[in-house]
Amino acid sequence: MGECYNKIEINSPILDVWNTISNFHDMTWATGVPIIVSKVGDKKGTETGAKRILNGVIHETLINFDANDFTFSYSIDHERGPVSNFVSNYIVAVKLTSIEGGTLVEWRSSFESENDNDIEGFFNPIYSRLLSALKKRLS
């Protein structure tokens, strides 16, 4: 089983960070990261079961949303898109923790693949860029 893990400390209150990233359908905060989000269906971006497509190819579903614990998780839908040819059981969890002086943001994923290193090499830089964009947005 493969895993990606990225984290960043942001000098902003946890509620500010949460309000910026918690809408599954809105990634406008990720300035400089080439992501186009297309909403699928009627569910709100804070509702379990919400769906989106990233850059026209990666289909994802929000599988957990807990505003009280500042966490959400989503899966890559394996029946659609090119990523599904290389991975299965891809689950991403985002967790915010209040720390002295700001917020710790952790972006973790787990998956099954024939070549974990390739998948980690693809996704880790994306998560790192997303977290850097988030920090820049809130600075």
CATH code for the domain in which residue 123 is found: 3.30.530.20
89-120: per-residue pLDDT in tens? 999 999 999 999 999 999 999 998 888 888 89
Given pLDDT bands bounded at 50, 70 and 90, which one contains residue 52?
Answer: very high
Is residue 11 pLDDT above 90, yes or no? yes
Q: Quote the number of domains for the chain.
A: 1
Contact indicator for 14, 70 with CB cutoff of 8 Å: yes
The pLDDT of residue 75:
95
Give the domain range for residue 29: 2-138
Which of 84 and 55 is assigned the larger pLDDT? 55
Separation between Cα atoms, residue 139 and residue 10, nearest integer Å:
8
The pLDDT of residue 81:
54
**What contacts 15, CB < 8 A, 6 or more positions away?**
none
pTM for the full model? 0.92
